[in-house]
Amino acid sequence: MADPFSAIHGITNACQLAPGLVTGGQPEARHLEALAAAGGGVVLDIRDPMEPRSYDEPAYARQLGLEYVNVPVSSGTLSDETIERILAVVREAGSRTVFFHCGSGNRVGGALLPWFLLDRGMDEEAAIEQAMRVGLRSPEMLQWGLEYARRKGGA
């Protein structure tokens, strides 16, 4: 059986950040199949449900036995509540592997900045470096994640 990171091989910006957390861009159906076979537990999708996909990802993930969670991230949802919902999924997964994705990894990188700073104890420079490794490219997403973490005492 493949591991969860191998399962997402080929996805844009595929990355393993911790034993139970893999990230990337939009998966194809075959990636979800491989993730389920590798023991993946949760798909955390931060794309808006109206963004185009080639298949019904929520239904297919559930059919494969994966928990599917959608927390849409867009210019209109860049709030503390959105980050807190995302962090709750990552923090509460327990021993289940979380596959956290958006379209490219950009939004994932911004949303994970608080996790790097608050949960992993990284300094700001290291956290930004990791977020960019995940796919962060947007100044808006960078600012969103950093400002949240600073308000919560993590930077």
Question: Domain residue spans in the chain?
Answer: 4-151
Q: How far is CA 16 from the centre of its chain?
A: 10
Distance CA 41, CA 56 (A): 18
Could you tell me the CA-to-CA distances from 124 to 73, 79, 129 in Å, in that order? 22, 20, 9
- The one-letter amino acid at 155: A
For the beta carbon of residue 114, count every other beta carbon within 10 angstroms. Answer: 27
Residue-wise DSSP of 54-80: SS-HHHHHHHTT-EEEE---SGGG-SH
Which of 98, 129, 103 has the alpha carbon at shortest distance from 25?
103
Q: What angle do CA 88, 86, 65 make, to 5 degrees?
A: 80
What confidence tens digit (pLDDT) does each residue in 99-131 have?
999 999 999 999 999 999 999 999 999 999 999
**Token digits of residue 137:** 């490219």
CATH of domain 4-151: 3.90.190.10
Task: Provide the terminal-to-terminal Cα distance of the chain, rounded to the nearest Å.
Answer: 39
Q: Which pLDDT tens digits describe the chain residue by residue (155 residues)?
A: 579 999 999 999 999 988 899 999 999 999 999 999 999 899 999 999 999 999 999 999 999 999 999 999 998 999 999 999 999 999 999 999 999 999 999 999 999 999 999 999 999 999 999 999 999 999 999 999 999 999 998 65
CB 23 within 8 A of CB 15: yes
